[in-house]
Amino acid sequence: MQGHSVTGTGPRTGTWKLAHARSLADPAGFWAEAAAAVDWTRPWERVLDDSAAPFYRWFAGAELNTCHNAVDRHVARGRGEQPAIIHDSPVTGSITSISYGALLDRVARVAGALRDLGVGKGDRVIVYMPMVPEAAIAMLACARIGAVHSVVFGGFSARELATRIDDAKPKVLVAGSCGIEPNRVVAYKPLLDEAIAQAHHKPQYCVILQREQQRAELSPGRDLDWAELEAAAEPADCVPVAATDPLYILYTSGTTGQPKGVVRDNGGHAVAMTWSMRHVYGMEPGEVFWSASDVGWVVGHSYIVYAPLLHGSTTVMYEGKPVGTPDAGAFWRVIQQHKVAVLFTAPTAFRAIKRDDPEGTHVARYDTSSLRALFLAGERCDPNTLDWAGEILGVPVVDHWWQTETGWAIAANCLGLERLPIKPGSPTKPVPGYDVQVLCDDGEPVAPGAIGRIMIRLPLPPGCLPTLWGNDERFRASYLAAEPGYYLSGDAGYFDDQGYLYVMSRIDDIINVAGHRLSTGGMEAVLAGHPDVAECAVIGVADQLKGELPLGLVVLKAGVSRPDADITRELVAKVRDEIGPVAAFKTVLVVPRLPKTRSGKILRGTMKHIAEGTEYRMPATIDDPAILEEIQAAFADAGYAQTR
């Protein structure tokens, strides 16, 4: 595929303030310059198409191919021997490096195999895979022929997979035979078979990657062997698609009823991903970037697969855990072995490391001098965890904030533009392209320091969702209807008097105590600052007198031997001292673990239902359902309701 770059050198490097101001004053000019880093087969007619506002589209009229930009062009420009993907799998004891040249060959062949199965431009393919290189290869193969992939987290329940099959209506489903956890093998094929049996839509074919740890029995006529198909296929060329055509659908976690499929386009996505690698993360082509996430989540889409490869970096795919594979030094081993320049993970990973190794003794066993920065996202990062990570690693720790819907950072310390002073508890300032506002319920801006709804003035920058799959009206109702001309983030927070943004909690997690609106995130920050606390959560529990009362839950660090009663008494006093009596904070429970999703988010809403005795549905994304029994027991001992 022959491509050309639009003339220009990309946005001029400068301070954050200049870049952000220009991105809002002249978004078309700003993003046109950013688009110079991408190969296009046809230039755009309009950089920003506002003809159907509030449904905005970027680079209308342009054509490109995302796979060409992520793979082919790097080979053509001399990077064929550079590692593209390093697969590091402590659960299987293997490390595999795939060069850009080898990746091109494999992606082209798998794309050819999909083409031979009748998959073409606009067709959907569901990818149900563990953390193996073939997951990225399947995604890129779809992009190569203009198909739309929808990755479903490997091991999701049959019911959740079935709802996604019915919504996306895939022609082909690509799956692994199994996933591997530290202490068990999870068979995917029975889940896949049950999902297809439940679904009204039936994929024509299922392509199964057979893993030696557990091979799957194939259903004749429907199931095909990945290795056989790849070996026999003729390579497929890149197919140009419209910049506004969908690249993928990603269903938000915890989907119930009708799924909510976030759509990502090709053109705006390629531009935003490429721009962010240099300007947000400070990465150069050829360097090693490690996002310790999973391809089933948005972080995996953006920063395991697409952004690093679009930028010409080397990406690490890690099939392991922060602790237990084999110990709390696992991350430091990966950094040393692969010379990782920037690590991106969730705060919960560092809380787990801190819980098992509070003094950070494992770090001394490894050379982590290649690491320039640590980025954290996925949930609110408490200042204590941020400070601890910075102390043991000796690098900037950047808490940044974004969502599945945006696909990349809304607020961050953009190290590739200017390193701003770090304020623990804040993801710093809005990223260029995002006009972030904090509004009260009547739509007026709130004063600095006052909590309100965090909203983004339209248009959203390139890379953000243009709509939901097959449901423009739900997109409008869910995100645009709260305040005309704005996108509703669903989060609450505030700006300080220096313009730093603080994201305190989901809007639903702002609790009302005797008429006072209080953030559970603020209380969690206080609890996390206690030297014995490894992890914590605060939920609001219904109270007849005050409306709601906060309830704290804490997990203690390894080795803490002091009585729980002494620690909880100190925690209650600490919140009272730092937030004030208005919080009415009186109860803290010590629990062995907190229930989380597989991506590390604490299931506060589920715990609230348990504490209040209201019915709840087992979250589809829960990491270990047994944890809820422990929480129920702790609540029962403390006198809270526990209706299932």
With CA atoms as reference, report the closest residue to 583 among 638, 535, 506, 524. Answer: 524
Mean pLDDT for 344-353 is 91
Rounded Cα distance between 119 and 122, Å, is 8
Rounded Cα distance between 635 and 641, Å, is 7
Q: CB of 87 within 8 A of CB of 135?
A: no
Q: CB of 315 within 8 A of CB of 304?
A: yes
What separation in angstroms does the CA of 228 have from each of 3, 119, 203, 233, 258? 32, 18, 20, 9, 36
- Residue ranges covered by each domain of the chain: 4-58, 514-637
Rounded Cα distance between 325 and 329, Å, is 9
Q: How confident is the model at residue 488 (pLDDT cuts 50, 70, 90)?
A: very high
The three-point CA angle 375-25-453 to 5° equals 55
With CA atoms as reference, report the closest residue to 73 among 39, 99, 42. Answer: 39
Q: CB of 65 within 8 A of CB of 1?
A: yes
Pairing assessment for the beta strands 172-176 and 184-187 based on DSSP bridges:
unpaired
Q: CB of 223 within 8 A of CB of 208?
A: yes
pLDDT digits (tens, 9 = 90+) for 605-614: 888 888 888 8
Output DSSP code: residue 11. S
Question: In sequence order, what are the beta bridge partners of 127?
Answer: 151, 174
Residue labelled with tokens 């099939």: 319
Helices (H), 35-117: 66-67, 73-74, 100-116
Phi, psi of 145 (to 5 degrees): -105, 10
pLDDT digits (tens, 9 = 90+) for 110-156: 999 999 999 999 999 999 999 999 999 999 999 999 999 999 988 78
Q: How confident is the model at residue 510 (pLDDT cuts 50, 70, 90)?
A: low
Rounded Cα distance between 346 and 252, Å, is 17
Rounded Cα distance between 321 and 324, Å, is 6
Specify the length of the chain in residues. 644
Q: Distance of alpha carbon 487 from its chain centroid, rounded? A: 19
Structure tokens at 58: 């970027």
Using the predicted structure, report yes or no on whether residue 255 has a pLDDT greater than 50: no
Give CA torsion, residues 447, 448, 450, 453, to 10 deg. Answer: 80
By three-state DSSP, how is residue 374 classified? strand
Rounded Cα distance between 181 and 605, Å, is 26
Beta-carbon contacts of residue 277 (< 8 Å; ≥ 6 apart): 283, 289, 307, 308, 310, 311, 313
Q: How confident is the model at residue 268 (pLDDT cuts 50, 70, 90)?
A: very high
Q: Which CATH class is domain 514-637?
A: alpha beta
With CA atoms as reference, report the closest residue to 222 among 344, 333, 66, 117. Answer: 117
Q: How confident is the model at residue 514 (pLDDT cuts 50, 70, 90)?
A: low
pLDDT digits (tens, 9 = 90+) for 391-416: 999 999 999 999 999 999 999 999 99
Mean pLDDT for 59-79 is 98
Residue labelled with tokens 């970037």: 289
Taking the alpha carbons of 337, 340, 346, 350 in that order, is the dihedral positive or negative? positive
Beta-carbon contacts of residue 641 (< 8 Å; ≥ 6 apart): 610, 611, 612, 613, 635
Rounded Cα distance between 529 and 381, Å, is 12
Beta-carbon contacts of residue 582 (< 8 Å; ≥ 6 apart): 513, 514, 516, 518
Beta-carbon contacts of residue 220 (< 8 Å; ≥ 6 apart): none
Rounded Cα distance between 12 and 419, Å, is 16
pLDDT digits (tens, 9 = 90+) for 459-468: 999 999 999 9
Give CA torsion, residues 612, 615, 620, 621, to 10 deg. Answer: 0
Mean pLDDT for 551-559 is 93
What separation in angstroms does the CA of 409 have from each of 3, 102, 303, 378, 580? 28, 31, 11, 11, 33
Could you write out the DSSP letters of every residue in 246-280?
EEEEEEPTT--SS--EEEEESHHHHHHHHHHHHHT
Neighbours of 506 (CB within 10 A): 17
Q: CB of 486 within 8 A of CB of 458?
A: yes
Neighbours of 625 (CB within 10 A): 10
Asked if omega into 466 is within 30° of 0 (cis), the reply is: no
Average pLDDT, the chain: 91
Percent of the chain at pLDDT above 90? 75
Top-confidence residue, 182 or 362: 362
Top-confidence residue, 11 or 587: 587
How would you write 313-366 as a 3-class SS string?
CEEEEECCCCCCCCCCCHHHHHHHHHCEEEEEECHHHHHHHHHHCCCCHHHHHC
Using the predicted structure, report yes or no on whether residue 18 has a pLDDT greater than 90: yes
Rounded Cα distance between 421 and 410, Å, is 18
The single-letter code of the amino acid at 275 is W
Mean pLDDT for 241-258 is 81
Q: How confident is the model at residue 384 (pLDDT cuts 50, 70, 90)?
A: confident
Mean pLDDT for 501-523 is 75
Instruction: Check residue 218 and give its pLDDT.
Output: 96
398, HSE (Cβ side, Cα atoms, 13 Å): 28
